[in-house]
């Protein structure tokens, strides 16, 4: 026998063995192979890591919906479909990923005319692994954007998702601004099916230097649990969180709960949240919470609602505009019990906004809100990305 014929038979024999194995697996209802299709910016390995099944498993019909829920929860995909095993035992996962890169100019103006200009660069799917990179530069622009000065703020962060494909993630961040500078490092352990669903906890260290000369440092601990069914234009479920920072001058505590309830088959929802925080220790060093902003007590700007303790409640409806399924009208009301300088007061904010979802863009929710701060009798406008809560 010619040795060349002998070498030619090896690939043929291997192909026959693989084909026989696939047919045997299909006959038993088992998965022989998983294919991921439709990806442009994401590694296939990242998708396969989040699947509830693997080659060799007996197929379960509920895995189709579970796969969609897991991958949509990452925020990286606009569409996910799963085909059951074909005659050869091959499962095909179709995942359309979203553009992950943001380059956003920012502008801020206060009542006294102080203004700021900035630029934010964010990559929510760095290296196609789901890592997140954020860089921000902000400069003081004088009164009413009259001139740029050298007074500026810098911040940077990087989150590595699933280190080595495992259950640990890590986040490093640093910042410098006129109020001080600092850095933090945290490691997060996933206890649920993905880093975005189910329970997880994070342990880290934070150090910061305040403009008044105090240096705060100490360990941080955070716990989160989420059960969210994400559909881009709307979602339902709940999330809970709690965090603490033990410093050399005292303790920060905060936590909350939010729920998203589907009202009808169209996608209208009602959302509510309860959250609070407290600071215990040297008030001169620890400073205060600042809860007046678009993600907190709306109707107030940063600096207008300091608190050493607070309890915040929010209620808002999210109603899809018929014929424009990616646009929502959002009426809301916020109420807060605020402790400051030895007194406790109730503050309110009411308003409405528009939420526009760009399905092709990661975290592509653009929201514009107008709110009235009852305590200060002023209107405030907010424009930003992502949801308020």
Please give the average per-residue pLDDT across 92-119, as a whole number: 90
pLDDT at residue 354 above 60?
yes
HSE (side-chain half, CA atoms, 13 Å) at 258: 24
Structure tokens at 357: 């979802």
The 8-class DSSP code of residue 30 comes to B
Q: Across the strands, what pairs with 336?
A: 312, 347
Please give the average per-residue pLDDT across 192-210, as a whole number: 96
Within the chain, where are the H helices? 3-27, 44-49, 63-73, 283-286
pLDDT at residue 366 above 70?
yes
pLDDT at 212: 84
347: CB partners within 8 A, 6+ apart:
297, 300, 305, 335, 336, 338, 373, 374, 375
Which residue carries 């959002």 as its tokens?
330
pLDDT at residue 17 above 80?
no
What are φ and ψ of residue 59, in 5° steps? Answer: -65, 140
pLDDT at residue 209 above 70?
yes
Q: SS3 for 3? A: helix
Structure tokens at 217: 């440092």
CA distances from 307 to 243, 274, 279, 287 (A): 17, 16, 9, 9
pLDDT at residue 7 above 70?
no
Angle formed at CA 239 by CA 237 and CA 244, multiple of 5 degrees: 180
**pLDDT, tens digit, for every residue of 54-72?**
999 999 999 999 999 999 9
Rounded distance, CA 183 to CA 156, Å?
9
Structure tokens at 377: 């009798």
Name the residue with higher pLDDT: 370 or 142: 370
Contact (Cβ atoms closer than 8 angstroms) between residue 133 and residue 154: no
**pLDDT, tens digit, for every residue of 126-140?**
999 999 999 999 999
CA distances from 18 to 23, 224, 324 (A): 9, 44, 49
pLDDT at 109: 81
**pLDDT, tens digit, for every residue of 236-245?**
999 999 999 9
11: CB partners within 8 A, 6+ apart:
none
pLDDT at residue 52 above 60?
yes
Element (H, E) at 109: strand 101-109
Structural domains of the chain ordered from first start? 3-97 (3.10.20.310), 101-385 (2.40.160.50)
pLDDT at 195: 96
pLDDT at residue 307 above 80?
yes
Please give the average per-residue pLDDT across 266-291, as a whole number: 95
pLDDT at residue 26 above 70?
no
Structure tokens at 131: 């890592």
pLDDT band at 303 (very low <50, low <70, confident <90, very high): confident
pLDDT at residue 174 above 90?
yes
């Amino acid at each position: 026998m010619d040795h060349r014929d002998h070498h030619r038979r090896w690939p043929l024999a291997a192909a026959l063995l693989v084909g026989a194995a696939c047919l045997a697996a299909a006959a038993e209802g088992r998965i022989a192979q998983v294919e991921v299709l439709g990806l442009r910016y994401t590694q296939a390995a990242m998708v396969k890591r989040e699947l509830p099944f693997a080659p060799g498993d007996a197929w379960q019909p509920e895995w189709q919906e579970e796969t969609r829920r897991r991958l949509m929860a990452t925020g990286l995909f606009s569409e996910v479909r799963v085909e059951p095993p074909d005659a050869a035992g091959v499962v095909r996962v179709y995942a359309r990923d979203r553009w992950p890169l943001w380059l956003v100019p920012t502008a801020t103006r206060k009542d006294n005319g102080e203004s700021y200009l900035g630029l934010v660069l964010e990559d929510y799917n760095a290296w196609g692994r789901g890592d997140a990179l954020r860089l921000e530069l902000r400069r003081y622009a004088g009164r009413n954007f009259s001139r740029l000065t050298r007074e500026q703020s810098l911040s940077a962060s990087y989150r590595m998702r699933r280190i080595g494909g495992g259950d640990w993630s890590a986040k490093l961040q640093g910042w410098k601004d006129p109020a001080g500078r600092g850095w933090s490092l945290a490691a997060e352990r996933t206890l649920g099916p993905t880093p975005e669903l189910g329970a997880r906890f994070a342990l880290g260290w934070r150090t910061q230097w305040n403009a008044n000369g105090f240096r705060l440092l100490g360990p941080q601990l955070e716990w989160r649990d989420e059960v969210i069914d994400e559909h881009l234009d709307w979602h339902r479920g709940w999330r809970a969180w709690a965090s603490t920072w033990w410093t050399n001058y005292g303790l920060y505590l905060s936590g909350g709960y939010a729920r998203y309830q589907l009202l009808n088959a169209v996608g209208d929802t009602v959302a509510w949240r309860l959250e609070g925080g407290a600071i215990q220790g040297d008030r001169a060093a620890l400073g205060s919470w600042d809860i007046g902003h678009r993600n907190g007590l709306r109707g107030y700007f940063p600096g207008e609602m300091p608190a050493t303790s607070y309890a915040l409640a929010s209620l808002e409806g999210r109603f899809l505009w018929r014929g424009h399924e990616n646009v929502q009208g959002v009426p809301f009301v916020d109420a807060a019990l605020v402790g400051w300088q030895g007194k406790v007061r109730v503050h309110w904010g009411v308003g409405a906004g528009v939420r526009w979802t760009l399905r092709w863009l990661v975290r592509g929710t653009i929201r514009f809100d107008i709110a009235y701060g009852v305590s200060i009798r002023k209107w405030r406008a907010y424009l930003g990305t992502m949801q308020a809560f």
